[in-house]
Amino acid sequence: MTHPTERAAWRALEAHAQAMAPETMREMFARDPGRFAGFSARLDDLLLDYSKNRVSHQTMTLLMDLARQSGVEHARAAMFAGEKINATERRAVLHVALRHRDHSAIRVDGADVMGPVRAVLAKMKDFSVAVRSGAWTGATGKPMTSVVNIGIGGSDLGPVMVTEALKPYHQPGLAVRFVSNVDGTHMAETLKLCDPETTLFIVASKTFTTQETIANATSARDWLIGHLGASAVPRHFVALSTNEAAVTAFGIDPANMFEFWDWVGGRYSLWSAIGLSIAVAIGFERFEELLEGAARMDQHFLTAPLDVNMPVILAMLGVWYNNFLGAAAYAVLPYDQYLHRLAAYLQQLDMESNGKGVALDGTPVTWQTGPILFGEPGTNGQHAFYQLIHQGTKLIPCDFLVAANSHNPLGEHHDLLLSNVLAQPEALMKGRTLAEVKAADPTLSDEQAAHRVFSGNRPSNTLLYKRLDPRTLGMLIALYEHKVFVQGVVWAINSFDQWGVELGKQLAKTILPELKNGPTPGAHDSSTAGLIEAVRAMRS
């Protein structure tokens, strides 16, 4: 296998990074009045401005050469064709099938998956309509007022992020809540808000073996049985899973199980049955609009030439900073309160997908892979960590996201928000020179002025959309999914496994009985054994 660093475009980009280092974005904007038009892309109501990046047209050409030489086009076709590109788990990667809207087939091992996909969607439609209309009643005949999704990781973060993002579309009187953490506080505090007679639990787990989810589901079931008796369980529990045997063993009627398949990765699963809580919250028609938005981005990703392809552009800009300009982190900054869980969702999508140290050929990578991702909604972040982004010693490329129109036009708020989200990238790009600081305030000493200087030349993308509706959100999520995929291809890693989460899970199983019995002699390092003993002492 050719390693990324051996590709001609990789070496050309290394030389290019050296050559263009002295040139600032300020100079690039001054030289080229058409820079915004030359470095922006549009798809329907979504605009990507990537002009505030440390790139020239030649940089973009070289980055696209690298994408091509890395086999991005081939990998893209292989994914959409249902090939088993998740090699370490020997699975296809077909979240795109979940939102495939036309009637063509998508095959895995020769079988068209679209029949089963449509059947589950139809079942989700019937169920969500019944819950929302009140036709689905609990064991005592009352309609549901609370829906609690119990899941973790991909079985939580996607649904919770989307459900929060689309709050304006929620049905009044039907609260959709999420419990993920095995910390009993999460379940206990949620149950305080619920009436057993009108609460429906959706147990979401691809494997149905995840310790946290099974523990939470068991406690929820005990709570329900404590109030309404065991016979109430079938009316108050449904499951979203690939594992019918485990669902049945838990006591959930298989008729109330919504199926998905091993070719849906956990962090790519919100479009599948895992999205049932979303469909209940916003209604099935809106859920379909979400799928349509994603399908629109899928078609764009599949068909647009690389140099005008939004996911590819975002991916290759990330590669540029990560591999050629030494950036270790990356910030996602939605100026949209409804997207307050976006960074948490993207942390799993990006860091679980591309936080890998072994290349597809089994050798350790000698190049950087996935970045550290963090973020908070604007403007909150401005008053917290932006200091470091503006003046710190680290290079942190940023994505700013904002809607031109608010769902809540409240006085001047949205203009205030917009002015901030437009100002931040400008400030990051331009900076402020010593001469400018002094011109603004001639009374400052050199020393005082130095602290007020901004180096500038700090890169960002801006994603501007008309309004955060289901379709737009679908486009945005699919944009990031494909971006992560493209980067994984360039880095020659498998973006679709997650072996790195296994070791901690196994060790937790070993430690669990030791909390009662004490650490097994010789089984742990002195720190872990000491901590187990300390916990035992503090609890006695």
Ligand X SMILES: O=P(O)(O)OC[C@H]1O[C@H](O)[C@H](O)[C@@H](O)[C@@H]1O
Interacting residue with ligand X among 236, 498, 514, 519 (CB under 6 A): 498
Residue placing its CB nearer to ligand X in the complex, 159 or 318: 159
Stretch that binds ligand X, among 123-131, 153-161, 393-401, 483-491 (CB under 6 A): 153-161
Residue placing its CB nearer to ligand X in the complex, 213 or 322: 213
> Would you tell me how many other CB atoms lie within 10 Å of the CB of residue 506?
9
Interacting residue with ligand X among 4, 138, 154, 488 (CB under 6 A): 154
The DSSP 8-state label assigned to residue 205 in this structure reads -
Residue list 391-430, contact with ligand X (CB under 6 A): none
Active-site pick, 413, 426, 505, 533: 505
Residue 152 is a binding residue for ligand X (CB under 6 A): yes
User: Whole-angstrom Cα distance, residue 482 to residue 488?
Assistant: 10
Interacting residue with ligand X among 69, 145, 207, 528 (CB under 6 A): 207
Nearest-10 crossing angle of helices 211-228, 502-517:
60
Q: Please name the residue ranges forming H helices in 348-410.
A: 353-354, 386-391
Strand partners, 330: 373
Interacting residue with ligand X among 51, 53, 180, 210 (CB under 6 A): 210
User: Whole-angstrom Cα distance, residue 14 to residue 12?
Assistant: 5
Residue placing its CB nearer to ligand X in the complex, 352 or 514: 352
- Count Cα neighbours of 4 within 13 Å in the Cβ-side half-sphere: 29
Q: Please name the residue ranges forming H helices in 408-525.
A: 413-430, 434-440, 446-450, 470-490, 502-517
Minimum distance from CB of 435 to ligand X (Å)? Answer: 51
Residue placing its CB nearer to ligand X in the complex, 36 or 499: 499
Minimum distance from CB of 394 to ligand X (Å)? Answer: 27
Minimum distance from CB of 236 to ligand X (Å)? Answer: 20
Stretch that binds ligand X, among 17-25, 151-159, 310-318, 459-467 (CB under 6 A): 151-159
Residue placing its CB nearer to ligand X in the complex, 83 or 89: 89
* CB of 500 closer than 8 Å to CB of 92: no
Residue 143 is a binding residue for ligand X (CB under 6 A): no
- Asked about 505 being catalytic, the answer comes back as yes
Interacting residue with ligand X among 86, 149, 155, 460 (CB under 6 A): 155
User: Whole-angstrom Cα distance, residue 366 to residue 354?
Assistant: 14
Minimum distance from CB of 269 to ligand X (Å)? Answer: 7
Residue placing its CB nearer to ligand X in the complex, 137 or 207: 207
- Asked about 16 being catalytic, the answer comes back as no
- Asked about 352 being catalytic, the answer comes back as yes
Residue placing its CB nearer to ligand X in the complex, 60 or 349: 349
What is the maximum alpha-carbon separation in the chain? 79
Stretch that binds ligand X, among 14-22, 149-157, 289-297, 359-367 (CB under 6 A): 149-157
* CB of 246 closer than 8 Å to CB of 209: yes
Q: Look at phi and psi of residue 362 and say left if phi exceeds 0, alpha if psi is from -120 to 50, else beta.
A: left
Active-site pick, 352, 376, 481, 514: 352
* CB of 107 closer than 8 Å to CB of 93: no
Active-site pick, 383, 413, 426, 533: 383
Tell me how many residues contact ligand X (CB under 6 A): 14
Using H for helix, E for strand and C for coil, what is the string for 115-150?
HHHHHHHHHHHHHHHHHHHCCCECCCCCECCEEEEE
Minimum distance from CB of 126 to ligand X (Å)? Answer: 23
Residue list 267-296, contact with ligand X (CB under 6 A): 267
Residue 356 is a binding residue for ligand X (CB under 6 A): no
CA 303, 307, 309, 314: dihedral to nearest 10 degrees?
150
Burial of 69 (0-12, 13-18, 19+ CB in 10 A): middle
Q: Which helix (H) or strand (E) holds 218?
A: helix 211-228
Minimum distance from CB of 82 to ligand X (Å)? Answer: 21
Interacting residue with ligand X among 82, 159, 266, 283 (CB under 6 A): 266
| Encoded amino acid at 124, one letter | M
Minimum distance from CB of 409 to ligand X (Å)? Answer: 37
Stretch that binds ligand X, among 102-110, 182-190, 205-213, 313-321 (CB under 6 A): 205-213
Contacts of 286 (CB under 8 A, 6+ apart): 166, 169, 470
Contacts of 101 (CB under 8 A, 6+ apart): 291, 292, 295
Residue 488 is a binding residue for ligand X (CB under 6 A): no
Minimum distance from CB of 69 to ligand X (Å)? Answer: 30
Residue 460 is a binding residue for ligand X (CB under 6 A): no
Catalytic site positions = 352, 383, 505
**Chain residues that interact with ligand X, rule: CB under 6 A:** 152-155, 205-207, 210, 213, 266-267, 352, 498, 501
